[in-house]
Amino acid sequence: MFIKNTGDFNLEQTFECGQCFRWNRRDDGSYIGVAGGHVITAAHTEGGIQIDGGGDAFLRAYFDLERDYGKVKRAICGDGVMKNAVFSGGGIRLLRQQPWETLISFIISANNNIPRIKKIIAEMCAGFGGELTRGGFYAFPAPEVLAGLTARDLAFVKCGFRDKYILDAARKVASGEVDLSAVYGMSAEDGRRELKKINGVGDKVADCVLLFAYQKYDVFPKDVWIKKTLHRLYLVGEKDIDGFVREKFGRYGGFAQQYLFYYGRSCANDEFALKRTT
């Protein structure tokens, strides 16, 4: 598939913004990753982006290609802060990821860093997921597979204290105690409650799953970094974030979160760039 580059899709920004963990940059600047059981390559070329693997229908859904991101940006760019944030990360697209993989990925992300998250996931897939190609790419292990394991079985992936949460999630999903399919039809509040039945899943992990897997775009995941960024740029205290986000961004809160998160991280050490310009 060839996508004419409109300025609303940048591979580095999309894959390096913290929403996904199975994409890797190659020496030539292209990316290779696994999504939905497909091995996919993506590269910027003259005039656009070339993506191979998965089939057009899957790629259109996964990369959210039917959405007018220009409209989204216009809706949230009501001040100088958001204009700067969108300018910084305007090529981010919110991927439509699979709920089970997203759930386990963000359980692993708790108190962790991206390189280590990616390594743990890669080891888990290689150990329990089944090989997709001879090139060493593996499917994400099904909940039924992980549900039959013990903490000792998971020891080699070195996920630490998260092992018990991964196993709890697998057993509750495999048994039907947690119904991931049902969350699609739930409100964000009800979906959050369903996901939090799993030990180790709090508001932040649940909100990441709701945004990145279920397209609950009014959800605004809050970690330490985004809280600091909002305080620095908007002088918003932690207890006031939810009301501020609802009023300012409404149904586009998730998009605003990604632009602000990327902006805050990319300009963290640049006092001039990361400034309050409301």
Catalogue the active-site residues. Answer: 204
Return all residues near 273 (Cβ < 8 A) that are at least 6 apart: 84, 267
Q: 99-212: which CATH architecture?
A: Orthogonal Bundle (1.10)
- Which SS3 state, helix, strand or coil, does residue 69 take? helix
Q: In whole angstroms, give the CA distance from residue 186 to residue 215.
A: 11
> What count of residues does the chain have?
278
The pLDDT value recorded for residue 278 is 43
Q: What fold, for 2-66?
A: TATA-Binding Protein (3.30.310)
Buried b / exposed e along 203-239 (16+ C-beta atoms within 10 A):
ebbbbbbbbbbbebbbbbbbbeebeebbeebbebeee
Domain ranges of the chain: 2-66, 99-212
Tokens, residue 265: 């991280």
pTM, whole model, 2 decimals?
0.93
What are the C-alpha distances in Å from 258 to residues 17, 19, 85, 93, 210? Answer: 7, 9, 9, 9, 14
Contact (CB, 8 A) for 152 and 187? no
The pLDDT value recorded for residue 136 is 87
The pLDDT value recorded for residue 272 is 39
H/E element, 41: strand 38-45
Q: Which residues of the chain have pLDDT under 50?
A: 271-273, 276-278
Same fold, 2-66 and 99-212: no
Give per-residue pLDDT as tens, 199-232.
999 999 999 999 999 999 999 999 988 999 999 9
The pLDDT value recorded for residue 183 is 98
Q: In whole angstroms, give the CA distance from residue 246 to residue 241.
A: 9
Give per-residue pLDDT as tens, 68-85.
999 999 999 989 999 999
The pLDDT value recorded for residue 135 is 77
Q: In whole angstroms, give the CA distance from residue 114 to residue 123.
A: 14
CB atoms under 10 Å from CB of 72, counted, come to 20
